[in-house]
């Protein structure tokens, strides 16, 4: 398994579903009940891990299928179009920060001319078959939560 230290940030968008579609405004009591807690953080971490695995599976079908999955992943889990995107891909050095949709997608699937060092974290050269999070702590502040800990990736080919 690959071990990486990470910090995971989750922001609840009060008038949006996970799909990014706006919902009708809620009453204050409903908003209070919809606040983020550890269960929501762990659900978001699972969705993130499952999304990375799905992009890898789609890549086995075609690059276009992987790109479609990665685009949906970025739009849904990174809130593209709803909030600024701020990502630091682990293996990027020449352009270590990504603030655009294409920049994040490139880090996931590679193949973007603007980011030539990206091989695609979700698609290779190593492909993952399991991602597990181990939180050291979760801090909740209103509609935002920060989690810190480790995440582990199991290599499809070696089982490590």
Task: Report DSSP state, residue 100.
Answer: S
Residue closest to 38 by CA, chosen among 131, 149, 154, 128: 149
Per-residue model confidence (pLDDT) at position 28 = 55
**Maximum C-alpha span of the chain:** 51
Per-residue model confidence (pLDDT) at position 1 = 37
Per-residue model confidence (pLDDT) at position 92 = 86
Per-residue model confidence (pLDDT) at position 8 = 58
pLDDT per residue rounded down to tens, the chain (160 residues): 333 445 555 555 544 444 443 444 555 545 555 678 899 999 999 999 999 999 999 999 999 999 999 999 999 988 888 888 889 887 888 999 999 999 999 999 999 999 999 999 999 888 889 999 999 999 998 888 889 999 999 988 888 8
Per-residue model confidence (pLDDT) at position 110 = 95
Query: What is the residue-wise DSSP string for 10-77?
Result: EE--TTB-TTS-B-PPPPHHHHHHT---HHHHHHHHHHHHHHHHHHHHHHHH-HHHHHHHHHHHHHHH
Per-residue model confidence (pLDDT) at position 4 = 41
């Amino acid at each position: 398994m690959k071990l990486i230290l990470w910090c995971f940030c989750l922001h609840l968008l009060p008038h949006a579903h996970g799909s990014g579609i706006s919902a009708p405004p809620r009453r204050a009591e409903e908003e209070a009940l919809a606040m983020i807690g550890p269960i929501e953080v762990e659900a978001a971490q699972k969705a993130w891990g499952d999304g990375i695995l799905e992009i890898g599976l789609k890549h086995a079908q075609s690059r276009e299928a992987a790109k479609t999955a990665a685009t949906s992943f970025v739009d849904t889990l990174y809130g593209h179009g709803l909030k600024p995107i701020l990502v630091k891909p682990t293996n990027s050095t020449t352009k270590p920060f990504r603030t655009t949709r294409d920049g994040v997608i490139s880090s996931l699937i590679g193949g973007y001319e603007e980011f030539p060092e990206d091989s695609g974290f979700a698609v290779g050269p190593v492909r993952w078959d399991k991602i597990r999070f181990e939180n050291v702590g979760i801090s909740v502040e209103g509609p935002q939560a920060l989690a810190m800990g480790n995440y582990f990736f199991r290599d499809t080919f070696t089982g490590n």
